[in-house]
Amino acid sequence: MDVAEWNEEDAAAWQRACELVAAARRITVLTGAGISTGAGIPDFRGPDGVWTRDPEAQRLSDIDSYLADPEVRRAAWRSRARHPAWEAEPGPAHHALTGLANSGRLRALLTQNIDELHQRAGLDPELVLELHGSMFGTVCLDCSERGTMRAALSRVAAGEQDPPCRSCGGILKSATVSFGQALDPEVVRAGQRAAMDCDLFLAVGTSLTVHPAAGFAELAVRAGADLIVCNAEPTPYDGQAAAVLRGDLDETLPRLLSVPTVPNSRPLRTWADPSTW
């Protein structure tokens, strides 16, 4: 973010965002693919996204295609083996959120990402809600047995192009939520509680188009929290945001979250009763 390039609207949004961060005592954060692009993990829908460049690649994330077509499964295993998350390192934006947690003001971090970069940046796993699971685990779609992705990929490297579950012979996939699969209801409920139990909801690097994750932003606003959107492209929730920030997240987020707090600046909220909306 180059201050010299700011127009009056950008400067006002930045000032408002800094004021909100300084005043907040409980912050819930939602992160999407945009926070990891700087680490070399491409997003899906952006100008240079995986699905933008290769629309057919979306079939690998569709549960019906995965179940019905062995070739889709074989392609998915090849893709997992070369996923850039194996080599990626957390960036400044990830570390800035760890710093927020260390300050004691992070209520929870909800992430749509499957790369575990937040945990690798030192964030307490207890604070992280992986809405779409993790690519570093596997699950059998028949018996639900779980394992490690490294173990499964070692079988692929040994010649099993579509390794079945060793317990029941069922279909294995990554422990992530594909299109057509439901999110874990316990994780969703925990996300809802975190959205309703914060002073400030910070949406970072997410297009806010995939539900139910995107709906957490509206839930927070309806419960009385302020919303800040930090994303390179417009989102459907920009109109509900108290501030919208564009620019490189690895530059913007560390600066934003380093703003000194204002002690006792606002009363501590309890999460809202939906019946009062």
Name the catalytic one among 83, 118, 132, 211: 132
Active site residue 211: no
Q: What would the two tokens of residue 135 be?
A: 């690519």
CB 132 within 8 A of CB 114: yes
Cα(first)–Cα(last) distance of the chain, in Å?
Answer: 37
Contacts of 210 (CB under 8 A, 6+ apart): 112
* Count, residues in the chain: 277
CA torsion through residues 269, 109, 248, 258, sign: positive
- Pairing state of beta strands 172-176 and 146-148? unpaired
Measured distance CA(230)–CA(89) in Å, rounded: 21
Burial 124-156, CB ≥16 within 10 A → b, else e: eeebbbbbbbbbbbbbbeeeeeebebeebbebb
- Catalytically active residues are 132
